[in-house]
Structure 1
Amino acid sequence: MSDAPDNILLAYMRRFDEKLDRVIDVQTEHSSHLSQLEFGLVGLRRDMVQHAEGIALLGVRLDRADKRLDRIEKRLGLIEV
């Protein structure tokens, strides 16, 4: 009779241990997915920075073209100084 409570407790402990192992496996899988998402986010940020640099360069080129156009118009007398 004294073995019965120990066996029941041991059975519960084994079930708890199995469930805990599954929780750990799921948590490990979630950590892996989170890392993949973080890498993807870094890639998106890198792309955004590259696009912003491109837009900034276009702005610089437009400013230069605008200045050149102003000089040409002044030389031709198309605008007043």
Structure 2
Amino acid sequence: MAEVTSDLIYKVLKTVQRDVTATRNDVVDLKHQMNAVRTHLTAIQQGVGNIYNWLGHLEDRVDRIEVRLGLVEPAH
């Protein structure tokens, strides 16, 4: 069995440290990407909400037009 020396432990620890640093950098990158995705999803949700609002206004206008043309009975 190989003798365990301080130099061998140092080399192993340096490798572990390098791997931990790389992993930390990857996690930071993933956090940035997740924040970008979150921002885009929020924008999409707002856009969909605006579309629903716009469609609601169009529905109201169509309802008024139908009543004016006598296509439906006015709601009371």
Structure 1 residue 22: deviation in Å? 1.1
What TM-score comes out, normalization by structure 2 length? 0.88
Q: Which residue of 2 aligns with 1:54?
A: 47
Alignment of 1:2-81 (within 5 A): 12-81=5-74
Give the letter for the 2:9 counterpart.
F
Unaligned runs of 5+ in 2: none
Of all paired residues, the percent bearing the same amino acid is 24
Root mean square deviation, CA, Å = 1.2
Unaligned runs of 5+ in 1: 1-7
Runs of 4+ in 1 over 2 A off after TM superposition: none
- 1 or 2, which has the higher helix percentage? 1
What TM-score comes out, normalization by structure 1 length? 0.83
